[in-house]
Structure 1
Amino acid sequence: MVVKIKGCYVLKPSTPTLQGTLALSEWDQVGTITHVPTIYFYKPDQTFAAQPDTIANILKDSLSRALVPFYPLAGRLRWIGGGRLELHCNDMGVPFIEAESDSKLDDFGDFSPSPEYDYLIPTVDYTIPIHELPILLVQLTRFKCGGLSLSLTISHAVVDGQSALHFISEWARLAKGEPIGVMPFLDRKAFQDRTLPAGSTLGLDHSELDHPPLLLGQSDNIEERKKKTTVAMLKLTKQQVEKLKRMANEGNDYKNSGTKRSYTRYETVAGHIWRCASKARVHRNEQPTAMGVCVDSRSRMQPPLPQGYFGNATFDVIATSLAGDLVSKPLGYASSRIKEAIEKVTNDYVLSAIDHFRNQPDLTRFQDLHALGSDQGPFYGNPNLGVVSWLTLPIYGLDFGWGKEIYMGPGPHDFDGDSLLLPSPDGDGSIVLALCLQVAHMDAFKKHFYEDII
């Protein structure tokens, strides 16, 4: 694919905003602190397609206005020691790239992520000092057919998925001439100042966050990290999802129990993914394996976080098992391990986890940024994986005034064991799995993924 850059503009808030330093919470500074890309494809009607500059001008003008209430996105991060960050609100702005391609939307087939997406999504150069890196970058690419793509890559150290979608949806409202629906709540102290009661003896263990399992016989993951990966988009129909739920809940006597409940769609499908990954990777029975589960703490806090809280309120909890138990026991076992990990996330658990990271002398080893191009940092590849859910997020229907997208999805991801669950855009109850695995394991995974639904 040939993509020509036609212009790059640095957009700043349309009116002056508050300047100064914004402290970050522990959840902003651990796990993924690199940029996370998403991409939308549109097929505007002929009125808009004939006026491509109009689309660009609408996006640039509305983005500048959106950066007034969402002014942290126009700032920059900076290190303050101990692997910790703060956000400097200085209105340095957001790069907005305009590009053109001779390709057509039809060339993308089913829009599965591919290396060609790299040309449609802004590149972030992490060799540049972090205080010079934009927090948000945007690219508008026009295609020969009149279609276009709009891609965003946004720092996970500043927002999680829910906050990112909040910003994007409000930007779209402004582009259509509508007022802001929900103002962002920017005071991180609503989260940051919550602490365990003095003298608390909760004693909750968070050691699983520190040392993910390694392959048996290995003292590090260096060799595993060197292996080539590939990405697949795998669909489960509503009928297949329902069949998996029935399989998982066999023997789970939740209907006659006042304490049990049926396994959720996420717990069921994530358990299926975990089992299939262990089978595909041909793990030994005694191999420890972990699955990262991303949990939103907004409604789990007491009191809940304010509406529109703008920052990271999601974090990983870890479900663990021996591979032999995963593959030999029914699906309900894997789902039960995931359910157990999720249900321990109470207000006290969140506070104790924050306390755990707050007492760390250095957060570097908990941050994915330091894993780029090195052998350091967190790693959830073989024998582990992460399954992030977008199943309940409002990811579809983003209309800037020329209609809703024809496709929305994640940008490229090439980290072994990284996966994402998306709802079908048709709303028909089906689910799409975006999965990255080592090339050597992908075919076997696909086989088990479908054949194990019996």
Structure 2
Amino acid sequence: MSVTYKGCYTVKPMEATKCGREPLSEWDQIGTITHVPTIYFYRPSQNWLSHSTIASTLKESLSRVLVPFYPLAGRLHWITNGRLELDCNARGVHFIEAESSSTLEDLGDFSPTSEYNYLVPTVNYTLPIHELPLVLLQLTQFKCGGVSISITISHAVADGPSALHFMCEWARLARGEPLETVPFHDRKVLRAGEPPLVPLTKCQVHSEFDHPPLLLGQSSNTEERKKKTTLAVLKLSKTQVETLKKTANESWDRPRSGHGYTRYESVTGHVWRSACKARGHREDQPTGFGICVDSRRRMEPPLPKGYFGNATLDVVASSLAGDLVSKPLGYASSRIREAIERVTDEYVRSGIEYMKHQEDLSRFQDLYAIGTDKGPFHGNPNLGVVSWLTLPIYGVDFGWGKEVYMCPGSHDFVFDGDSLLIPDPNGDGSLLLALCLQVTHMDAFKKHFYQDIAED
């Protein structure tokens, strides 16, 4: 794909905003703290074919939405011991304009490809962190008149729900509509910047924050990190999803809550089992399954509406590979359900205390995007499936119609064991699984993934 970059602009809040250093919560400073990209593709009507009209609409509305979402116009600063602070200084976000000689039709079914790298802003992680914009955007106009809007947002200031809150409100302002939900920025509701409440001796130990299991016989994950990976996007029809859900609920005791296993628990249990089979694990191989749980409604009281920041926590379900493979699908789903149900108000608050007592947070941070091998590794023998099933990822209309497609913003957005579950944009109840595994395991995974649906 040929892409010509026409210019890079700094867009600042249209009005004066709150300035000064603000503390981040513990959840902001662990896990992924680099930028996460997404792309939206559009086919504007003939009335919107002017690239300058689209660009000016986006930049003007972006300047306005940065007033209520002022933290995104700031910069991060390292303090000490792997900890970060947010400097609300209105320095702005980067907006790139580009053109492509390709058409949207050239992208076919929009399957992830290395071509997407030309459509997504590059974050220069060689710069000091306080020089990096928290948000970078790229508007690319295609020869056919179609456009793509890609946005990459620092995960240290916004999780998935917050990032999508920003996108939806930006689109509303671009359409000439008022803000729907004002963002809530006081991270002190999660005790940001406050000292621990209890001594370390009385602090509950959270072993789930430890690094996940290693392959039996290995003392580190160095060799597994080096192995070549590949990405596949696998589709499950509505019938296949319902089959997995029915199988999970009929093959194992119902959860204590009385509610049957959800489509997420059923599908991801199947993914976990399929990965163990494809990787050829020994029966006594420990394996962890990472789950991202939104704590906003699980707190007592719930976090304020529009809470902006990180409130999604990574929890880990665990099992022996032999148990996952030999027992019915419902067993894997039950392990996942138990991990999710651990996320209560008490769990969140004790986790905050545990992190406040850590001497250094860097060992809890995923920094692979900047080329370091430090931090957790969720590859073989482990796995994680992030769910976008309940997020408003579709229907983002800036005034020229809803997107024709949206997807993660890079073909290599995942590493071994990372995956993403999203609803099919057709809205027919089918699901898409974007999964990264080692090359040597992918074919076997696909075989078990589809073959076992009929057999489970």
TM-score class, shorter-chain normalisation, is over 0.9
Mapped to 2, the partners of 1:179 and 1:95 lie a distance apart of: 24
- Worse-superposed segment, 432-441 or 156-165: 432-441
Counterpart of 1:322 in structure 2 is: 320
Aligned AA (2:108):
G
Aligned AA (2:79):
I
Structure-2 change in CA distance of 1:389 and 1:21 (3 Å): same
Mapped to 2, the partners of 1:36 and 1:392 lie a distance apart of: 18
Aligned AA (2:40):
Y
Among 253, 262, 265, which residue is 1:264 paired with? 262
Counterpart of 2:71 in structure 1 is: 72
1:115 aligns with 2:103: no
Aligned AA (2:39):
I
Mapped to 2, the partners of 1:53 and 1:351 lie a distance apart of: 49
Q: What secondary structure is seen at the aligned counterpart in 2 of 1:403?
A: coil
- Worse-superposed segment, 193-202 or 140-149: 193-202
Structure-2 change in CA distance of 1:196 and 1:252 (3 Å): farther
Counterpart of 1:168 in structure 2 is: 167
CA offsets 1:204-263 (integer angstroms, 9 cap, x no match): 441121121011111111111111111111110110000001111114454xx9743210
Among 251, 274, 277, which residue is 2:275 paired with? 277
Aligned AA (1:113):
P
Counterpart of 1:85 in structure 2 is: 84
Structure-2 change in CA distance of 1:74 and 1:120 (3 Å): same
Counterpart of 1:420 in structure 2 is: 420
Mapped to 2, the partners of 1:351 and 1:236 lie a distance apart of: 37
CA offsets 1:76-125 (integer angstroms, 9 cap, x no match): 00000010001001111101000011111011111111111110000112
Mapped to 2, the partners of 1:202 and 1:324 lie a distance apart of: 36
Counterpart of 1:191 in structure 2 is: 190
Structure 2 gaps of 5+ residues are: none
Q: 1:414, CA displacement in angstroms?
A: 3.5
Aligned AA (1:453):
I
1:334 aligns with 2:332: yes
CA offsets 1:376-418 (integer angstroms, 9 cap, x no match): 2111011111110000001100000000000011122141111
Mapped to 2, the partners of 1:198 and 1:353 lie a distance apart of: 12
Counterpart of 2:12 in structure 1 is: 12
Mapped to 2, the partners of 1:396 and 1:100 lie a distance apart of: 24
Structure-2 change in CA distance of 1:309 and 1:3 (3 Å): same
Cα pair 1:252 1:262 within 8 Å, conserved: no
CA offsets 1:144-200 (integer angstroms, 9 cap, x no match): 111110000000000000000000000001101111001100111122269997689
Structure-2 change in CA distance of 1:348 and 1:195 (3 Å): farther
Mapped to 2, the partners of 1:196 and 1:239 lie a distance apart of: 50
| 1:335-354 pair list within 5 angstroms | 335-354=333-352
Mapped to 1, the partners of 2:74 and 2:424 lie a distance apart of: 35
TM-score, normalised via structure 1 length: 0.96
Q: 1:33, CA displacement in angstroms?
A: 0.5
* Percent identical: 68
Aligned AA (1:111):
F
CA offsets 1:127-147 (integer angstroms, 9 cap, x no match): 111010110000000111111
Aligned AA (2:37):
P
Cα pair 1:204 1:349 within 8 Å, conserved: no
Number of corresponding residues:
451
Counterpart of 1:296 in structure 2 is: 294
Q: What secondary structure is seen at the aligned counterpart in 2 of 1:374?
A: coil
Mapped to 2, the partners of 1:438 and 1:424 lie a distance apart of: 25
- Worse-superposed segment, 78-87 or 363-372: 363-372
Q: What secondary structure is seen at the aligned counterpart in 1 of 2:31?
A: coil
Counterpart of 1:55 in structure 2 is: 54
TM-score, normalised via structure 2 length: 0.96
1:362 aligns with 2:360: yes
- Worse-superposed segment, 435-444 or 372-381: 372-381
Counterpart of 1:432 in structure 2 is: 432
Mapped to 1, the partners of 2:13 and 2:220 lie a distance apart of: 46
Mapped to 2, the partners of 1:352 and 1:301 lie a distance apart of: 12
Among 305, 308, 312, which residue is 1:307 paired with? 305
Structure-2 change in CA distance of 1:106 and 1:210 (3 Å): same
Mapped to 2, the partners of 1:79 and 1:369 lie a distance apart of: 14
Cα pair 1:365 1:376 within 8 Å, conserved: yes
Structure-2 change in CA distance of 1:432 and 1:195 (3 Å): farther
Cα pair 1:369 1:377 within 8 Å, conserved: yes
Structure-2 change in CA distance of 1:349 and 1:218 (3 Å): same
Q: 1:371, CA displacement in angstroms?
A: 7.0
Cα pair 2:386 2:419 within 8 Å, conserved: yes
Counterpart of 1:128 in structure 2 is: 127
Counterpart of 1:396 in structure 2 is: 394
Q: 1:344, CA displacement in angstroms?
A: 1.1
Cα pair 2:197 2:353 within 8 Å, conserved: no
Structure-2 change in CA distance of 1:171 and 1:7 (3 Å): same
Could you say what the CA RMSD is over the residues aligned between the two structures, in angstroms? 1.7
Aligned AA (1:358):
K
Q: What secondary structure is seen at the aligned counterpart in 2 of 1:452?
A: helix
Q: What secondary structure is seen at the aligned counterpart in 2 of 1:138?
A: strand
Mapped to 2, the partners of 1:261 and 1:172 lie a distance apart of: 36
Q: 1:276, CA displacement in angstroms?
A: 0.8
- Worse-superposed segment, 196-205 or 268-277: 196-205
Mapped to 1, the partners of 2:390 and 2:256 lie a distance apart of: 26
Cα pair 2:196 2:357 within 8 Å, conserved: no
Q: What secondary structure is seen at the aligned counterpart in 2 of 1:315?
A: strand
Cα pair 2:252 2:328 within 8 Å, conserved: no
Q: 1:203, CA displacement in angstroms?
A: 6.5
Cα pair 2:200 2:357 within 8 Å, conserved: no
Structure-2 change in CA distance of 1:263 and 1:196 (3 Å): farther
Cα pair 2:294 2:312 within 8 Å, conserved: yes
Cα pair 1:39 1:121 within 8 Å, conserved: yes
Mapped to 2, the partners of 1:294 and 1:244 lie a distance apart of: 21
Q: What secondary structure is seen at the aligned counterpart in 2 of 1:81?
A: coil
Mapped to 1, the partners of 2:126 and 2:220 lie a distance apart of: 25
Counterpart of 2:250 in structure 1 is: 250
